[in-house]
Amino acid sequence: MHKTLPIALLAAIFSQPILAADEVTEARGLIKQFGTSLKGQLVGAMKEGGPVKAIQFCNVRAPGIASDIATHSGWEIGRTSLKIRSAANTPDAWELAVLKEFETKKAAGADPSTLDYSEVVELNGQKMFRYMKAIPTEKACLNCHAETIKPEVEAELKSLYPGDQARGFNEGDIRGAFTLSKPL
Ligand code: HEC
C-alpha cells in the first residue's frame, strides 16, 4: 500500500535547492581566481624545473593560494576528490555525496565542465552556503595523475604522499572538485 506523500514534502524533494544567485556568482569568481592562479603557477614551475619541481609547488603553494583567497574573501576554499592525493583534502559527508552525484551525472552523459552544485546547510546552528564545481582532467594533469608517470615524478609523489590515491586518471575524467563555503 502506497501512502500519499504530503504535497509540501513532494515539492521539497523535487524542487531544486533555492539558489542564492549572488553567492553562486561570487563562488564562481573565486574559483576562477584560484584556478587561474594554480594553473599559471603550475605551468611556470613545470617550465622552470619539470614535473618534480612542480610537485613541490603544488605541495606548498596550492594550500597557500587557497588560504590567501580565504583571508581576502571570507570564504573557505579548497579542492577535494573521491581519490585524494593529500589527506588534507579529504571530503566530508556533504562533499562526498556531491562528488558521487557528479560521477552519476557524468555517467549519464553530462560534460564534467558543466557540473556544479550549491546548497544552504546548517552546521552547528550556523547557516552556511556551500558550493562545489567539478574539475575535469586535462592532458597536462596526466603528468602527475595518470596511471603511468615518469619514475622520478613517481618517487617524489611517493615520498611526499605515501597514501596517494590520485592516480589512474584519463583525460575527461572528473579529477575532483573545488569546494567553497561561507557563513550566511
Ligand atoms: C606536477 C604535478 C601535478 C600536476 C601536473 C597536476 N597536479 Fe594535481 N596535485 C598534485 C599534487 C602534489 C597535489 C597535492 C596538493 C596538496 O598537497 O594540496 C595535487 C592535488 C590535486 C587536487 C586536490 C585533491 C587531491 O587529490 O588532494 C586536485 C583536484 C588536482 N590536483 C587536480 C589537478 C588538475 C585538474 C590538474 C591539471 C590541470 C593537475 N592536478 C595537475 C600534483 C600535480
Structure-block grid coordinates of residue 7: 504535497
Which carries the bigger pLDDT value, residue 48 or residue 179?
179
Q: What Cα–Cα distance (Å) separates residue 46 from each residue in 53, 57, 58, 164?
A: 7, 9, 11, 20
* Cα-to-centroid distance, 69 and ligand 1 (Å): 18
CA-based nearest residue to 118, from 135, 95, 144, 137: 95
Computed from CA positions of residues 31, 84, 183, 113, in that sequence, does the dihedral angle turn out positive or negative? positive
Query: 31 in ligand 1 pocket by Cβ < 6 Å?
Result: no
| Mean pLDDT on 18-26 | 80
Lowest mean pLDDT among 34-43, 138-147, 153-162, 168-177: 34-43
pLDDT at 57 over 90: no
* Cα-to-centroid distance, 18 and ligand 1 (Å): 32
* Cα-to-centroid distance, 182 and ligand 1 (Å): 24
What's the one-letter identity of residue 170? Answer: N
pLDDT bin (cut points 50, 70, 90) of residue 1 is: very low
Query: 41 in ligand 1 pocket by Cβ < 6 Å?
Result: no
* Cα-to-centroid distance, 162 and ligand 1 (Å): 15
Query: 143 in ligand 1 pocket by Cβ < 6 Å?
Result: yes
Q: What is the pTM of this model?
A: 0.88
pLDDT in tens, 78-113: 999 999 999 999 999 999 999 999 999 999 999 999
CA angle (119, 90, 32) in 5-degree steps: 55
The confidence score (pLDDT) of residue 3 equals: 52
Structure-block grid coordinates of residue 173: 575524467
Query: 54 in ligand 1 pocket by Cβ < 6 Å?
Result: yes
What is the DSSP secondary structure assignment for residue 4, as one 8-state letter?
A: P
pLDDT in tens, 116-132: 999 999 988 999 999 99
Pick the CATH number of 21-183 from 1.10.3470, 3.30.450, 1.10.1740, 3.40.50: 3.30.450
Average pLDDT of the residues of the chain: 89
pLDDT at 14 over 50: no
Nearest CA to ligand 1 atom 40: 141
* Cα-to-centroid distance, 119 and ligand 1 (Å): 26
CA-based nearest residue to 136, from 158, 103, 160: 103
Q: Within the chain, how many helices (H) and strands (E) appear? A: 5, 4
Query: 172 in ligand 1 pocket by Cβ < 6 Å?
Result: no
Ligand 1, residue 59: give the atom nearest the CA.
17
